[in-house]
Amino acid sequence: MDLKLAGKRALVTGSSSGIGEGIARMLAAEGCAVIVHGRDRARSEAVAREIGATGVAIGDLATDAGADAVAQAAGAVDILVNNAGGAAGTSAMGWTEVDEAGWIGTYQLNVIAAARMIRRLLPAMKQAGWGRIINIASAAATQPIALGPDYGAAKAAMLNMTVSLAKALGPCGVTANSISPGMVLTPAVAAWLTGARHTLGWGDISLEEAERRMAREITPVAVGRAGRVEEIAHIACMIASPASGYMTGANVRVDGGQVQSIN
């Protein structure tokens, strides 16, 4: 299926690794002029070369100066994927471990970082009369767990801000939607799972078996496995395409049935 993305210009934040890299790679394969973003120039430039991206934008989106630098490097874009995020500490931290600085830091990394880029890049989209804003949230936004409360709350805020933005945009030709991935087997998750086998008492089982056990025992997933980066990227490309013009304010769960509720 031709998604008619050829000639569109896209910025994917946090695209020097993981889900962001996968989305940037697939958008480039669909003919988009992609700007790879990261904080590590060498890593970002390596990914850009590998996927045939148009350029790179380097900056820390948790700061105004970093967001300014990224917006300037990206220029006017048709598609903005707010993928950069994470926890200021670790996602395994509990309520007593996450201090006030951690809450603020995680909110900065996710919600404020996305808001910064929207504020800087939306005017050009509205002027052009066409645009796609995609915020990458998480299954933790709608199915909270005991650990990482700052991360889940920040991702929940991203869902709220996406709907608010969609209503504010109205019929200007720019849409705003979110994607909520479940557990995805990124290189970082694979490395964690490989190391956690012994901690969890599973012994020297293969990564494949560890993944299946994780999907049964730790984070129950209906399809019995973690997702793949490409499965998130496929949905992102569809939402980024002209075919999604009647879709705005939506949250698309790509979680293998992990979230046990109605969307």
Q: Which two tokens stand for residue 209?
A: 């078996």
Q: Which two tokens stand for residue 168?
A: 């504010």
Radius of gyration of the chain from its Cα atoms, rounded to whole angstroms: 18
User: Closest Cα partner for 149 from 188, 96, 111?
Assistant: 96
Contact yes or no for 59/48 (Cβ under 8 A): no
Q: What is the DSSP string of 88-114?
A: SS-TT--TTT--HHHHHHHHIIIIIHH
In Å, how far are 16, 47, 173, 229 from 56, measured between CA atoms?
9, 9, 27, 21
| List of residues 6+ apart from 73 with CB closer than 8 A | 35, 55, 56, 57, 58, 59
Annotated catalytic residue within 34, 82, 151, 239: 151
Say how far apart CA 247 and CA 184 lie, in whole Å: 25
| 151 a catalytic residue | yes
User: Per DSSP, what are the bridge partners of residue 69?
Assistant: none
Contact yes or no for 110/163 (Cβ under 8 A): no
Say how far apart CA 71 and CA 66 lie, in whole Å: 9
Residues with a known catalytic role? 151
